[in-house]
Structure 1
């Protein structure tokens, strides 16, 4: 019996014993293609020799120094690297250990910025339903995945939510994609006016919605309108690129494809590629300069901020991605992945939508394709698909509640950036077999 408090207390988990490249191997010797990079984390796959060498070099030099006493070369060099490639206007980095922590830092700096400006009534954060921004209490408060919020609702700060930009289920038959995007973006302005612009601190959104909806990009023009609305009312724009950022969609930052820059941004998963726990907040020069000229203090700190080993690891990951031009491979093999998914599932009776960008794709499963009716949640179809895939040597990231927070199933694919064409084909083949087997097991005898 394990003494670990696992996320599913009734489940017995296999033990991961090793990994090379695209493959994870369990203690019994079974190999699994990591088609989701864990949770869209392992962008370089497993056991990359250059990253391991950088980790060894850093730990031989310095493992840890608290940031109340020192900065380190590792942290400074990573910050320089990130800011040189950051969206326009970004000037500072705050390092932490996870995506949830990065979101917490964004929320607190957004509030602190307005306190420094004397606009102390700005306490409200607006986000979207069917979003996920982390599991800590602040991140849960702004998140829109209601099943995660429910047990802790009375403990959370008040959250304000508008519709997601979810074209498959939200666009009306009489609308174009552009018209739909502008319509749901305008919900933000309506909510700001309802709350009072002088009370709104920030709007928080995933640039491409990750686990909750399954790799859903925004409709054309959506984020440009969002940026305009935020600017008009002096509201900060916080982009959550914890899952979709750092090359996952084919550009280093997903917002590059939207033609906008945020005021604050959270990154994590692909930053360190799973080799060490690390996340970061990127902050605009305007925000940081306001604090610098005011109190000069950001009242937020955690023990492992700027951890030297994590920073050296993340820098090595980012240098390998750039040196080997892996974002070009993301675009190239991402196009192949889209093509193969559409070939295999485009006419499947129970696949309602295929969407995504780069190495970030979602396949939404439905009971009735014509009506988009989801399967009964009691069937736990997403869990069946995950199990069937793992039995076939494939690791994927399915989720339930896609349609409305309760019903709906999708599969998320987020393979490492090193993938080749043959592995893309194998992933789609095994996923197809797993999906069909799961559907057959879900039907009444």
Structure 2
């Protein structure tokens, strides 16, 4: 009996023993294509020699020094690297150990900024339904994944939510994509006016929605309108690029493709590629300067902030991505992945939508394609697809609640940036077989 408290108590998990490139091997010697990067984490694959060498070198030099006493050369170098490539206006980086921690830091910095500038009434955060910003209490409070919030609702600060920008299920037949995007963006202004502009601290959004909606991209013009509204009423724009950022969508930051820059940004997953736990908050110059002119203090700290080993690891990962021009491969193989997914599932009776960008794609499964009716959530179809995929040596990221938070199923693909055309083809073939096998257990297809 395992003494590890696993995600699902009572479930027996295969034991991972090794990884190389896009493959993970279990104790029984079976290889699995990591087509989801774990949880969109393993951006350069497993066992990369350059990253392992950088980790060994850093351990030999310095593994840990608490940031109340020291900075480190590698933390400074990584911060310089990130800011040189960051969205316009970014000035500073706060390193932490996960995406949830990065979101917590963003929430506290947003509030702290308004404390420093004397706008003490700004306490409200607005986000979107069907969003996911992390599993800690602050992140749950601003997140819109209601099933995760339910058991802790009485403990959470009040969260205010507007509609997601979810074209497949939200756009009316009489709207263009642009009209739809502007309509749901304008819900932000309505919510600000409802709460009182002087009380709103920030709007929090995933640039491309990951786990809850399966790589749902925003409608054209949506984020530009959001940016305009934030500026009009003086609140901050916090972009959550924990899952969709750091090259996942074909540009280093997903917001580059939206033509906007945030005030605060959370990154993680692809930052360290899974080799060490690391996340970060990127802070705009105007926020950093306000704190410097004021108290000079960010009242937030955790034990492993700026961990030298984690920073060395992330720097090595980022250097590999840049040196090997892996973002070009993301764009190239991402186009092939989209093509192959549409060839395989475009006329499938139970695939309602195929959406995404770069190496970030979602396939939504429906009971009825014409009406977009989801399967009964009791069937746990997304979990069945995951099991069928694992049996075929394929790792995917499944999720339920896609349609309304309770019903709906999708699978998310987020393969490493290093994949080639042959691997893309194999991923789609195995996924197609897995989807059909899982559907065969719930109804004839």
Alignment partner, residue 228 of structure 1: 228
**Shift in Å, 1:10:** 2.0
Alignment partner, residue 22 of structure 1: 22
Aligned to 2:354, what secondary structure does the other structure show?
strand
**Shift in Å, 1:44:** 0.5
Alignment partner, residue 263 of structure 2: 263
Aligned to 2:127, what secondary structure does the other structure show?
strand
Alignment partner, residue 125 of structure 2: 125
Aligned to 2:19, what secondary structure does the other structure show?
strand
User: Is the aligned partner of 1:111 residue 2:111?
Assistant: yes
Distance (Å, rounded) in 1 between the aligned partners of 2:165 and 2:435 = 27
Q: What do residues 307-343 of structure 1 show as CA deviations (whole Å, max 9, x unaligned)?
A: 0000000000000000000000000000000000000
Alignment partner, residue 298 of structure 1: 298
CA RMSD of aligned residues (A): 0.7
Question: Residues 141-156 of structure 1: matches in 2 within 5 Å?
Answer: 141-156=141-156
Q: What do residues 322-373 of structure 1 show as CA deviations (whole Å, max 9, x unaligned)?
A: 0000000000000000000000000000000000000000000000000000
Alignment partner, residue 282 of structure 1: 282
Q: What do residues 207-252 of structure 1 show as CA deviations (whole Å, max 9, x unaligned)?
A: 0000000000000000000000000000100000000000000000
Alignment partner, residue 379 of structure 2: 379
Distance (Å, rounded) in 2 between the aligned partners of 1:249 and 1:159 = 28
Alignment partner, residue 243 of structure 1: 243
Distance (Å, rounded) in 2 between the aligned partners of 1:10 and 1:349 = 35
Aligned to 2:205, what secondary structure does the other structure show?
strand
Aligned to 2:257, what secondary structure does the other structure show?
helix
Q: What do residues 254-311 of structure 1 show as CA deviations (whole Å, max 9, x unaligned)?
A: 0000000000000000000000000000000000100000000000000000000000
Flag structure 1 segments of 5+ consecutive residues without an equivalent.
none
Distance (Å, rounded) in 2 between the aligned partners of 1:117 and 1:62 = 38
Which runs of at least 4 in structure 1 moved beyond 6 Å after TM superposition?
none
Alignment partner, residue 171 of structure 1: 171
Alignment partner, residue 76 of structure 2: 76
**Shift in Å, 1:444:** 7.6
**Shift in Å, 1:141:** 0.3
Alignment partner, residue 34 of structure 2: 34
Distance (Å, rounded) in 1 between the aligned partners of 2:363 and 2:143 = 22
**Shift in Å, 1:442:** 1.1
Q: 1:444 to 1:369 in 2, by over 3 A?
A: closer
Aligned to 2:188, what secondary structure does the other structure show?
helix
Equivalences, count? 445
Alignment partner, residue 399 of structure 2: 399
Alignment partner, residue 412 of structure 1: 412
Aligned to 1:442, what secondary structure does the other structure show?
coil
Alignment partner, residue 58 of structure 1: 58
User: Is the aligned partner of 1:354 residue 2:354?
Assistant: yes
Q: What do residues 40-78 of structure 1 show as CA deviations (whole Å, max 9, x unaligned)?
A: 000010000000000000000000000000000110000
Alignment partner, residue 67 of structure 1: 67
Distance (Å, rounded) in 2 between the aligned partners of 1:77 and 1:234 = 33
Distance (Å, rounded) in 1 between the aligned partners of 2:234 and 2:163 = 21
Question: Residues 170-249 of structure 1: matches in 2 within 5 Å?
Answer: 170-249=170-249
Alignment partner, residue 309 of structure 1: 309
